[in-house]
Chain A
């Protein structure tokens, strides 16, 4: 378990294998955790974030590009223990080939965690015929003065968007790649602080 006491920005690239980590975020501390996943082979990611100090906050983002026969499992926990804590999770995947994304995760708010604000969202874009996605986001809320929302989407490419690009002279394949890339990158707008967002984009470009 890693303890976060100040302001921490962690960006990791994962390509195959298992990554399992836990963070405890302390009083007024802030954690930004970003995973960029190359899902061409089987990959398992399990981040757990425990918001143990009053006013703690965490933003967790996972950008997944599935391809070939990669099976990408993401398992998350946003655990609110102290009051006045915030968490914001967004897991986005673009699936090509025969890849498969499996997301399951929980927001758990203990009775002591009043005034929690928690968000959890999973979005999957299935580009090719043999791709699959399973999504099971869960909420377990024991405090009442809270706001907790979650959402999940599984969809394919919007033909209108693609048509628009084609009408601008962009070929279909390039158009699909552009839309997929835009879909993933827009996840970073969840990072509200501009400096932090720039830092993350920079680290990603270094991969």
Chain B
């Protein structure tokens, strides 16, 4: 039963409000449901076909037999596509007190707080947004939400959509391909350097932090872009399953950095497939921070397809009570002289469990390639757990592949030294933990780094969840 509301506006810089349907699908997912999603969005026929095929693959594929426990996900109990364009505004007072407190103590600016809490329907910086879009479009850079990207640049999207992560890749890639909505579309022309990090919350019309976001980033030869998503503040979500797909194409000599800080509330299953295809002399850097959610399974990957391509994954995982962070990275070397590096730092506390899971694979012909993986894990107390599950599959003899991992607790000597300087134990522990993750935190944009440090401090002092 749908009612059509006649609100539709078009902003100057391609900032659409899609047709305003209040549409509540039935729970669960069938082919009709998938078709309806595509129809409501007025998508080209080829996208509908992809969604339908992906749905068939989703129903046939099994859940992974490894990783976190996904047995309690009730696929038939989820609304796969609902949101009306103007969300019902929440009241600030209705938010759980811990979340309000955290926002205050981390130091999130007032306007951002309200936006993140869903209190205001729009981030109150439209002026900023417009001036950013103007400078981008002068350079020929496209930065839109994915729905608008498909609508305005269908041929460009069709050329690349699903080429890095086909729907057959895994059950959740198939799910996302069938019901995706929202996410970002970024295109950077040849030789263009985008100096300012593109932030997900600048594209404010589509449902931010949606359940099944689909992001596609194309960096032409010699270009550079840094994309940032998520935030350190805990995001309260009633949606229990988040399954995003991010595909990135890095052409010859281009460089892309993709930073994510995820802090979903503790009821969320966060299952993400992220992969970059890197051509000759290109470089891809994933900076991945996993702080929230009940379960996260995420392994940012790089396929090094061209000679001298480079890939890097920097990963931080923090698991508190009742959390399981199953994260890591994959580097697959298809071409010679390619290099990869995966650095993972994880912390488990209060019964939390962190698992590093990674793959380095070198195919025949990828001679003279190098890879180094370093995983360090801190277990802070007796009830917590830490695992490391790396795999190396090397089919080319002229290579240099290394992996090291260490699991330990905070050193007694370090603690003693700080305590002897009058610093309390919880404070000392949080200083040490912040020092432990510093090599990765320093790669974050400044405001994220500051928020991250404060958040860790709060978590360690037991003031937050």
User: Which residues of A line the B interface, CB within 8 A?
Assistant: 95, 111, 114, 124, 126-156
Contact = CB atoms under 8 A, between A and B. Distances in A.
B91 to A, nearest CB: 42
B391 A144 contact: no
Contacts of B381: 144
A85 B404 CA distance: 21
The DSSP consensus for interface residues of chain B is: strand
A153 B394 contact: no
B386 A136 contact: no
Contacts of B63: none
Contact of A131 (B385, B397, B404, B405): B397
A147 B406 CA distance: 7
Nearest to B395: A132
Contacts of A155: 399-402
Given A137-B403, A140-B385, A144-B379, 10 more contacts: A132-B395, A134-B392, A134-B394, A135-B403, A140-B387, A141-B379, A149-B404, A149-B405, A150-B404, A154-B400
Given A132-B394, A137-B390, A139-B386, A148 B402 contact: no
B417 interface: no
B406 A156 contact: no
18 contacts: A126-B394, A133-B394, A138-B390, A139-B387, A141-B385, A143-B379, A144-B380, A144-B382, A146-B379, A147-B407, A147-B408, A150-B404, A151-B404, A151-B405, A152-B401, A153-B403, A155-B399, A155-B400
A139 B405 contact: yes
Nearest to B355: A140
Nearest to A120: B405
Nearest to A124: B394
A114 B409 CA distance: 11
The dominant DSSP class at the A interface is strand
B391 A135 contact: yes
Contact of A135 (B388, B392, B407): B392
A142 B354 CA distance: 11
Given A136-B390, A142-B385, A150-B405, A126 B397 contact: yes
A154 B401 CA distance: 5
Given A149-B405, A150-B405, A151-B403, A111 B382 contact: yes
B167 to A, nearest CB: 28
Contacts of B390: 136-138, 152
B407 A146 contact: yes
B398 interface: yes
B87 interface: no
A145 B407 CA distance: 10
A153 B397 contact: no
Contacts of B388: 137-139, 150
Contact of A141 (B386, B394, B397): B386
B404 A144 contact: no
B416 interface: no
Contacts of A130: 397
Contacts of A114: 382
Contacts of A95: 397
B27 interface: no
Contacts of A143: 379, 382
Nearest to B368: A156
A127 B398 CA distance: 9
A127 B399 CA distance: 11
Contacts of A156: 397-400
Contacts of B386: 139, 141
- 3 smallest CB-CB distances across A and B, nearest first, come from A126-B397, A144-B379, A139-B388
A142 B408 CA distance: 11
A153 B406 CA distance: 15
B407 A139 contact: yes
Interface string B234-270: 0000000000000000000000000000000000000
A23 B397 CA distance: 35
Contacts of B401: 152-155
A126 B403 CA distance: 16
B215 interface: no
Nearest to B392: A135
A141 B393 CA distance: 24
Nearest to A159: B398
B133 interface: no
Given A131-B397, A141-B407, A149-B405, A154 B392 contact: yes
A134 B391 contact: yes
B389 interface: yes
A152 B403 contact: yes
B384 interface: yes
Nearest to A145: B409
B402 to A, nearest CB: 5
A133 B409 CA distance: 32
Nearest to A140: B387
Q: Which of B379, B389, B390, B397 has the most CB of A within 10 A?
A: B397
B375 to A, nearest CB: 9
B392 A129 contact: no
A149 B406 contact: yes
A88 B392 CA distance: 21
Contacts of B391: 134-136
A127 B394 CA distance: 13
Contacts of A149: 404-407
Interface string B398-437: 1111111111110000000000000000000000000000
Contacts of A134: 391-394
A116 to B, nearest CB: 10
Given A148-B406, A152-B402, A141 B389 contact: no
Contacts of A139: 386-388, 405, 407
A146 B387 contact: no
A144 B398 CA distance: 39
B408 A153 contact: no
Nearest to A151: B404
Contact of A136 (B380, B392, B397): B392
Nearest to A147: B408
A143 B403 CA distance: 23
